[in-house]
Structure 1
Amino acid sequence: MLATARLQPRRLGTRLASSASEAAKYKIVVVGGGSGGLSVANQIYNRFKASGKPLNPGDVAIIDPADNHYYQPGWTLVGAGLKKKTEFVKPLASLVPTHITLISDKIETFTPKSSSVTTASGREISYDSLVVAAGLKINWEGIKGLPHALMNSTSGVSSIYSYETCDKVWTDINALRSGNALFTQPAGVIKCAGAPQKIMWMAWDRYRKTNLNTKVHVDFYTGMPTMFSVKKYSDALNELRIGRGVGGFFSHNLISIDDANHKATFKTPDDSTVTVDYTMLHVTPPMGPLDFIKSSPIADTAGWVSVDPATLQHTNPEFGNIWALGDCSSLPTSKTAAAITAQAPVLSENLFSVMDSGKLSAATYDGYTSCPLLTGYNELMLAEFKYGLEPKETFSNQFDQAKSNRLFYHFKKDLFPWAYWKYMVKGQWYGTNGPFRPKYA
C-alpha cells in the first residue's frame, strides 16, 4: 500500500539514488511496492529472462515512498491473538532485488501521452511500459470520531485494517468480559470483503472457549445486503450466524462513533439513523481509489485504473502501454492477495508479448480470487470464485468448501504467510498453481 513520505535515498539498480537527477527512463516502471508491485515486477523481469531476451539490471523500476512492506492478510491473525504483528513487516528495500531499481518517491501525476510520470520531488520519469499496482485508500476520516477512538486506549474501538491498530484488536477482544461486541463492514469496495467477519468469528469463538458467550453478545452490522457476495458462501455464513446467535443487521452503514459514551451510529437505506451502545467495537473503515489515481487521465469514472478485465491492459487504445492489477485496478473482482497471484502472471505474459511482438498473448484472467474465511480457531471456510460471483474451487472434489475445516485453517495461519515471504514477493507464486508458472495456449 502506498503511503505519503518524503523522498529518501534508496537503492537505484545497483547504486544508491542520491539525487532526483539520475536515470529518468526505464523500460518498465511499476507504481507501488506492495503485494502486486513486487510480484509483477519480479515476474516481468523473470519472463524476459526466460524468453532468452533478458532485461538489463535497472531496466525495471518500482516507485514507492514506503519504508516498510506488510503482509496485510496477517493482521487478522494478529487481531485473533495468533501471531505478533512484527512477523508481517519487512523493510521494502530488503525485498527488492539488486537488478530492480527502487525509487523512494511518491507519484504526483500521470502523463500517459508522453509515457511519463512526475513525482513529489519534481522528478519526471519516463517508461516504455507502466504497471500501476498502488493499492487503495483507507478513509479513516470517513467515519466521524473513528481516528480519535482508535487512538484512545479505553475506547473499546479497534481495527485490523492497519499495522498500527491490529494488535489493539486482540487487546480489546481479550479484555472483554461482558457486554456488546459489535463488528462492522461498510457498503462498497474494501480489501478482502470477508475480513470484517473473520475477526468477528474469531472473537465469538474466543468467548465460547472462555465460557463468556453467555455474557458477551456479538452483533454484525454491515452496509451490505447479505453476509457475503457469493450466494453459496453467504447462505452458509448466514446459517452459521443464526446457529451461533450472532445478530445480523444488514444495510446498516456506520457513520459516527461517540467513544466517550460508547455509542455507534448507523445509517439505514431509508436515510434514518440507528444509535447502538457498544462495549467493544471493531470497525472496518470505508475505502476507495487513491486521490492521485482518481484525478488522473488513466482512471475510470469511479477512480480506478481502467483496464480490460481479461488482459489487464488499459482500456484506452492510446494508453496501450499501461497496465494495472490489484486493489487500484477496475477489475470487477474481490480485492485480495489471492487475486493478485492470478493476475500477475497474466499481466506479465501480456506485457512481455506486447513489448516483444506488439501483440497480446493468449493469457486471460477469469476473475479468480479467494477469501479464506476464518470461522473460529482451527476452522476456516475457503471461498474461491471468479467473475460473475461463480465458485471456482480448488478442492471441490475433496471437500465441500462451504463448510469449515482444519486443513484450510492451517493454510491461512501457516502455509500462506510462508509462501508469501518465500515465493510471492519474489514473483514465484502463481495462486492455485503454487510455484509453477501457468502455461497459456
Structure 2
Amino acid sequence: MSSALLVARRRALVGSRSLASSVRWASSDSKDKYKIVVVGAGSGGLTVANQIYNRFKAAGTPLNEGDIAIVDANEYHYYQPGWTLVGAGLKQKIETREPLKSLIPSHLAHIPEYVQSFAPKSSSITTASGRTISYESLVVATGLKTNWDNITGLPKALADPASGVSSIYSYETCDKVWRDIDALRSGKAIFTQPAGVIKCAGAPQKIMWMAWDRYQKTGRGDQISVDFYTGTPSMFSVKKYAEALNELRIQRGVGGFFSHNLVSVDAANHKATFKKGDGSTVDVDYTLLHVSPPMGPLDVIKNSPLADESGWVSVDKGTLRHTNPEFGNVWALGDCSSLPTSKTAAAITAQAPVLTENLFSVVTTGKDRGVTYDGYTSCPLLTGYGQLMLAEFKYGLEPKESFANYLGDQSKPSRIYYHLKKDLFPWAYWNHMIQGRWFGSHGFLRPKFPPTTNTPK
C-alpha cells in the first residue's frame, strides 16, 4: 500500500478534522519580538501553545495573530507513542507523523529554526542562523536527547538489516522492530532498558510483551526464550504495577535480569555486553536484541542558564515556573523539564493546563495564581494483543487511577484499556490534544482550578 493511501486510511479512521477546527498552514514569521515564544513543537509545545491562545481568547483578552511564536525547524511532527504499535505490527509508521507546518494554525507564528542559545536575563533566544528573538514570556518544550552513541556498536547494529538489533525509540528504526520480531523462528530474544531517565519508562517492556504474545499465538513460544535486561532494580517504579508485572513475568517464563545496563553491542557475533550493579560486565548471546537507548537533556538546554545541575530546565514542580526568580517569565513542561515524574504524552495533558493558567495569571495580573501540578502521568502498558495494564500515578509514585471504579483494577490487563491505547488515544492526539482541546483524564473539559491566594513571585 502506498504512503498516500496509508495516510488517507488513518485520517479516515480517526475522523477528518472539521472545517471549524481545521488548521491552516502557518507561514514563517520575521518579527524580532513576541509576547510568548514556545520553543519546541512536539507534544508539549503544540499543546501548550494552543491552550495559551485559547485561554486568553476565552477570558475576553485575546492575543493577536502572531503574538505567540513556535520555534522549531523539524519537518515532521511525530506521535511517538505510536512507535510501539508499529513495532508490534499494529500500525504502519507513516501513520505516526504529519508535516509540522500543517499542524500549526495561522494565528500562531512559526519560526522554522533551531535554538542555539538562551539569554533569560535579556528575555531573548538566538537561533542557529544567528537571529535574536525577544519575548515577554518563554515556554520551553524542547524534549530530550536520545543517546544512541552511548552504547558502543549500537548505531552500526541498527543500520544493519541482518543484525537482529532494533528499537522502537525512533521513526527510522521502529518498523525494523516488527520485521525482526515477525521473522524470528527460534533463539533468544532480549529486551533492554537503561538506568536513568527515559521517555515512557514502560515502553521497553511493552514491546517485549507484544513479542512474547506473538510467539505464543504463532506456535513459536517453545522455540524462543524471552529475557528482560534492565538497568533498574524492578519491573516498574510504582510498587503496585511492579508487583503485577513481575508476577506476569514469572507466569510467562520471561527472564528478569535487574541492574543490568547495556553498554555495547557486537552485531557481528550477536553478543551484548551488560554492566552490572557491582561494576562487573557480562556478555550475553542474542538472536534478537531490542534496545532502549539511554537518554538525557539536550546540549542546548544543559549548557544554558535555564538548566539545573542535571541539565534539565529547572522549574517548580507544582507551578512549572522557573525556579530562578530572575527568570520568572520562563516556563517549561514535558521531557525537557526537571519535573520529577515520568516523561510521557499523558503527563503533558495534566501539565499544560497548569502552566497555561499560571502563565495567564502572571501576564494579566502580574502574579502567579499558584495552581499546582500533582505529577500525574500515565503509562499504558501493553501486555499482549488485546490486553493492557493502565498505569496512572502521581508524585510519590502513588497510583492515581481514572477508570478503576468503573472498569476494574487497572493493574489487571484488560481489552478495554487496550483499545484506549490502540484506538482512542491516537485519535484524541491528532484531532484534539495538539490543538489544545484534550485534557487527558478530563477529556474535552478543561480542568477547573479552585480559587487560590495569589502570591507575588
- Whether the TM-score (by the shorter chain) exceeds 0.5 is yes
| Residues 348-363 of structure 1 aligned to structure 2 (within 5 Å) | 348-363=356-371
Q: Does the 8 Å CA contact 2:26/2:102 hold for their aligned counterparts?
A: no
**Aligned-residue offset at 1:141:** 0.2
- Partners of 2:433 and 2:405 in 1: CA distance: 26
Query: Which position in structure 2 is the counterpart of 1:6?
Result: none
Query: Which position in structure 1 is the counterpart of 2:57?
Result: 49
| Residues 173-252 of structure 1 aligned to structure 2 (within 5 Å) | 173-252=181-260
TM-score, normalised via structure 1 length: 0.96
Verify: 1:254 aligned to 2:262, yes or no.
yes
Query: Which position in structure 2 is the counterpart of 1:165?
Result: 173
Q: What is the DSSP-based 3-state SS (H/G/I as helix, E as strand, rest coil) of the residue aligned with 1:238?
A: helix
State the superposition RMSD in angstroms.
1.0
Larger displacement relative to structure 2 (181-190 or 360-369): 360-369
Runs of 4 or more above 6 Å deviation: none
Q: What is the DSSP-based 3-state SS (H/G/I as helix, E as strand, rest coil) of the residue aligned with 1:49?
A: helix
Aligned residues: percent identity? Answer: 72
Tell me the number of residue pairs that the alignment of Structure 1 and Structure 2 aligns.
Answer: 426
Query: Which position in structure 1 is the counterpart of 2:28?
Result: 17
| Residues 10-89 of structure 1 aligned to structure 2 (within 5 Å) | 16-17=27-28, 22-89=30-97
| Residues 292-307 of structure 1 aligned to structure 2 (within 5 Å) | 292-307=300-315
Verify: 1:99 aligned to 2:110, yes or no.
no
Verify: 1:108 aligned to 2:116, yes or no.
yes
**Aligned-residue offset at 1:397:** 1.2
Q: What is the DSSP-based 3-state SS (H/G/I as helix, E as strand, rest coil) of the residue aligned with 1:274?
A: strand
Deviations 1:65-103 (A, max 9, x none): 100000000000000000011111000000000000110
Q: What is the DSSP-based 3-state SS (H/G/I as helix, E as strand, rest coil) of the residue aligned with 1:397?
A: helix
Q: What is the DSSP-based 3-state SS (H/G/I as helix, E as strand, rest coil) of the residue aligned with 1:374?
A: strand
Q: What is the DSSP-based 3-state SS (H/G/I as helix, E as strand, rest coil) of the residue aligned with 1:183?
A: strand
Unaligned 5+ segments in structure 1 are 1-12
**Aligned-residue offset at 1:179:** 0.2
Verify: 1:421 aligned to 2:430, yes or no.
yes
TM-score, normalised via structure 2 length: 0.92
- Partners of 1:429 and 1:381 in 2: CA distance: 22
Q: Does the 8 Å CA contact 2:43/2:434 hold for their aligned counterparts?
A: yes
**Aligned-residue offset at 1:16:** 4.0
**Aligned-residue offset at 1:362:** 4.3
- Partners of 2:106 and 2:245 in 1: CA distance: 46
Q: Which amino acid aligns with 1:103?
A: I
- Partners of 2:404 and 2:270 in 1: CA distance: 44
**Aligned-residue offset at 1:167:** 0.2
Q: Does the 8 Å CA contact 2:25/2:105 hold for their aligned counterparts?
A: no
Q: Does the 8 Å CA contact 1:14/1:99 hold for their aligned counterparts?
A: no
Q: What is the DSSP-based 3-state SS (H/G/I as helix, E as strand, rest coil) of the residue aligned with 2:320?
A: coil
**Aligned-residue offset at 1:341:** 0.4
Query: Which position in structure 1 is the counterpart of 2:410?
Result: 401
Q: Does the 8 Å CA contact 2:26/2:108 hold for their aligned counterparts?
A: no
Query: Which position in structure 2 is the counterpart of 1:9?
Result: none
1:431 to 428, 440, 448: 440
Verify: 1:344 aligned to 2:355, yes or no.
no
Q: Which amino acid aligns with 1:343?
A: Q
Q: What is the DSSP-based 3-state SS (H/G/I as helix, E as strand, rest coil) of the residue aligned with 2:361?
A: helix
Verify: 1:264 aligned to 2:264, yes or no.
no
- Partners of 2:26 and 2:152 in 1: CA distance: 46
- Partners of 1:396 and 1:114 in 2: CA distance: 48
- Partners of 1:14 and 1:59 in 2: CA distance: 16
Q: Which amino acid aligns with 1:403?
A: K
| Residues 138-157 of structure 1 aligned to structure 2 (within 5 Å) | 138-157=146-165
- Partners of 2:404 and 2:381 in 1: CA distance: 16
Deviations 1:26-71 (A, max 9, x none): 0000000000000000000000001100000000000001000000
Q: What is the DSSP-based 3-state SS (H/G/I as helix, E as strand, rest coil) of the residue aligned with 2:404?
A: coil
Query: Which position in structure 1 is the counterpart of 2:132?
Result: 124
Verify: 1:410 aligned to 2:452, yes or no.
no
Q: Which amino acid aligns with 2:28?
A: A
**Aligned-residue offset at 1:224:** 0.1
**Aligned-residue offset at 1:364:** 1.1
- Partners of 1:129 and 1:397 in 2: CA distance: 41
- Partners of 1:231 and 1:326 in 2: CA distance: 24
